[in-house]
Amino acid sequence: AQTVTQSQPEMSVQEAETVTLSCTYDTSENNYYLFWYKQPPSRQMILVIRQEAYKQQNATENRFSVNFQKAAKSFSLKISDSQLGDTAMYFCALPIITGANNLFFGTGTRLTVYSL
Amino acid sequence: EPEVTQTPSHQVTQMGQEVILRCVPISNHLYFYWYRQILGQKVEFLVSFYNNEISEKSEIFDDQFSVERPDGSNFTLKIRSTKLEDSAMYFCASSILSASSGNTIYFGEGSWLTVV
């Protein structure tokens, strides 16, 4: 069965510092996509970054990057130069099975960025 | 930038009443979804809709739920007889193609339903 595990319920980081949020998953599929979504206090779900499993290169979007370890089924999110606006819940997600249209979400990590 | 819009943003209803949540997906998208997030919990898939019919649904999506695309733009979720445990944030989402193909699912800002 597919699972998505986010083992850090809460994390905090000082402004301008770097933080890494972990996500591990289990899937029987060989080719799949992984996503990180952000949910700020406004509660809207916003895509942060996505990774294609068959690509070895880690995805990067500005200050956000992933460390994708396919063999270990690990998909961590690194936020560099953290900003106050990064304060949010972060959810890791992947489609449950190939051909499925929906996403299966982890339980989330609440990130708080505090000022210097 | 195109976005998914949802109405109402917040609705309070009495137990046993019918509720209709409305959504306008992004115009060129073909897949539509409803997700639910009970307060403090993770986001859960309810149903996906493609080509004017349900393509997938979860165990949560029982007979009291239904979806409809009454015209070319709206996508609705109906809860026939609300229960207290239906209190949650309901997210509408859409994507051009399926998430398993790597297509981003874009979420609306959510409709917060409170059943009293």
Count CB neighbours of A12 within 10 A: 13
Q: Which of A34, A90, A101 to mutate to test the interface with B (most CBs of B within 10 A)?
A: A101
In tens, the pLDDT along B13-57 reads 999 999 999 999 999 899 999 999 999 888 999 999 998 999 989
Question: Is A105 in Cβ contact with B104 (below 8 Å)?
Answer: no
Amino acid letter for position B68:
E
- How far apart, in Å, do the first and last CA atoms of chain A sit? 43
pLDDT at B14 (0 to 100)? 97
pLDDT at B106 over 80: yes
The residues near B55 (Cβ < 8 Å, ≥ 6 apart) are: A101, B31, B48, B49
pLDDT at A102 (0 to 100)? 80
In tens, the pLDDT along A39-72 reads 998 888 899 999 988 888 999 999 999 999 999 9
pLDDT at B63 (0 to 100)? 95
Portion 34-53 of B in contact with A at CB < 8 A: 37, 41-45, 48, 50
> CA-to-CA distance for B30 and B96, rounded, in angstroms?
5
Closest-CA residue of chain B to A106? B42
- For the segment A6-20, the average pLDDT, to the nearest whole number, is 97
pLDDT at A100 over 70: no
Question: Is B33 in Cβ contact with A33 (below 8 Å)?
Answer: no
> CA-to-CA distance for B2 and B47, rounded, in angstroms?
22
Higher pLDDT, A79 or A1: A79
Q: Which residues of A touch B102 (CB under 8 A)?
A: 33, 50, 52
Q: How confident is the model at residue B2 (pLDDT cuts 50, 70, 90)?
A: confident
* Three-state DSSP string of chain B: CCCCEEECCEEEECCCCCEEEEEECCCCCCEEEEEEECCCCCEEEEEEEECCEEEEECCCCCCCEEEECCCCCCEEEEECCCCHHHCEEEEEEEECCCHHHCCCCEECCCEEEEEC
Q: Which of A4, A36, A42, A45 to mutate to test the interface with B (most CBs of B within 10 A)?
A: A45
pLDDT at B100 (0 to 100)? 67
Average per-residue pLDDT for chain B: 92
Portion 1-40 of B in contact with A at CB < 8 A: 31, 33, 37
In tens, the pLDDT along B19-31 reads 999 999 999 899 9
From the list A42, A95, A105, the residue facing B100 with the nearest CB is A95
pLDDT at A98 over 90: no
